């Protein structure tokens, strides 16, 4: 029996993983659910297990990796696509790390566009007005998305889904990617440009690139200064793609028209938990929440029935394949920090 230590457990995790276990894996895999996040304080809970299952806010740094290695853990199974919380240098040649690269690009893409529509037509503000019997539409003016230009940064599966949806609105699409897919651009009908041109000409900018040393704070004071006055910025990628202090300054000066954020650079302290009875001690997040033209959701873009089914199935299958066939199709590539099977650097002869 393969024993899994499952950290940062929420009720919906248990529901979908228990269903997947019952359907296909209960004879070979057992799960022990732990509510705490994985950290150097809680890593001792993993003793006696074969696999650790972790999520986006679990801390998998050098201290945690060394402890897991001492416990004999051979596999860390991330039940998410992102892996910026993993110290890849520490796990290299010690512990294999697999992820769920494609749980549902549609879920994230649809939430991205939902943020765009809500901010543009101010439906979140209208909702509260009408509940107070205020039926005035003053201050709720939006714009036609038809014929406007969207700048999509990152054209992986999620970015492409967003592009296809926005093309349905009749929008013009500019895109940026380190590894552009020109054939797909020709097929769908969008144009690759450099970042400066994208910033300069986009009415809406949406972030769908991974977090890396090259992309940390890519949206900063300098980048914002290049953007159109009144630009809409959407981030359903990773929080540290945006320098939040610079974003706030852009909002205060009205250079940024509005922002939709499903992620936040210090979200691990708050997201996925109920803090409604506490004082918010993060001054930057508190300031963001005061803007009527900022819409924040708590990392829920992935949160659909289909996505949770896929996350559970892919995670458990990753574990099964490793132990039964020594196969790791969704292992992270330690040389380029991408999934080995989907490594575009490898496809272009730039990795290995």
DSSP 165-232: HHHHTT-EEEEE-SS--HHHHHHHT-EE--HHHHHHH-SEEEE-PPP-TTTTT-BSHHHHHHSPTTEE
Report which of 25, 80, 75 is spatially closest to residue 46, judged by C-alpha positions. 75
Count of beta carbons in the 10 Å neighbourhood of residue 134: 11
Pick the catalytic residue from 37, 238, 265, 313: 238
DSSP 3-state of 54: strand
Tell me whether residue 238 is one of the annotated catalytic residues: yes
Pairing mode of beta strands 338-339, 332-333: antiparallel
Catalytic residue among 99, 265, 299, 313: 299
Element (H, E) at 113: helix 105-121
Phi and psi for 172 in degrees, rounded to 5?
-85, 135
Do 37 and 85 contact (CB within 8 A), yes or no?
no
CA dist 8 and 352 (Å) reads 34
Candidate list 96, 111, 208, 267, residue with the active-site label: 267
Residue 38 DSSP code: P
129 is catalytic: no
Give the active site residues: 238, 267, 299
């Amino acid at each position: 029996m393969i024993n899994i230590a499952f950290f940062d457990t929420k009720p919906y995790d248990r529901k979908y993983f228990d269903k997947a276990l019952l359907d296909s894996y209960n004879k070979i895999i057992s799960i022990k659910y732990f509510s705490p996040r994985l950290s150097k304080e809680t890593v001792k809970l993993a003793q006696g297990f074969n696999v650790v299952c972790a999520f986006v806010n679990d801390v998998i740094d050098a201290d945690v990796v060394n402890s897991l290695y001492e416990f004999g853990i051979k596999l860390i199974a991330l039940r998410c696509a992102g892996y910026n919380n993993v110290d890849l240098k520490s796990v290299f040649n010690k512990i294999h790390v697999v992820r769920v690269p494609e749980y549902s690009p549609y879920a994230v893409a649809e939430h991205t566009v939902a943020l765009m529509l809500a901010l543009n037509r101010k439906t979140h503000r209208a909702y509260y007005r009408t509940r107070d019997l205020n039926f005035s539409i003053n201050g709720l003016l939006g714009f036609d998305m038809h014929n406007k230009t969207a700048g999509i940064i990152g054209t992986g599966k999620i970015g492409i889904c967003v592009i296809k949806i926005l093309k349905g609105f009749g929008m013009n699409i500019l895109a940026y990617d380190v590894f552009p897919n020109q054939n797909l651009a020709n097929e769908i009908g969008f144009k690759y440009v450099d970042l400066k041109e994208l910033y300069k000409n986009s009415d809406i900018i949406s972030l769908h690139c991974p977090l890396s040393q090259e992309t940390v704070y890519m949206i900063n004071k300098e980048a914002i200064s290049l953007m159109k006055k009144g630009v809409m910025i959407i981030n359903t990628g990773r929080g540290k793609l945006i320098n939040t202090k610079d974003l706030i300054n852009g909002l205060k000066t009205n250079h940024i028209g509005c922002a939709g954020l499903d992620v936040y650079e210090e979200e691990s302290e708050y997201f996925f938990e109920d803090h409604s009875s506490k004082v918010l001690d993060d001054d930057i997040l508190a300031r963001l929440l005061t803007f009527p033209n900022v819409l924040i959701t708590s990392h829920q873009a992935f949160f659909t029935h289909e996505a949770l089914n896929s996350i559970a199935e892919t995670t458990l299958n990753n574990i099964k394949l490793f132990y039964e066939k020594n196969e790791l199709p969704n292992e992270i590539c330690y040389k380029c920090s991408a999934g080995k099977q989907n490594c575009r650097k490898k496809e272009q002869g730039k990795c290995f």
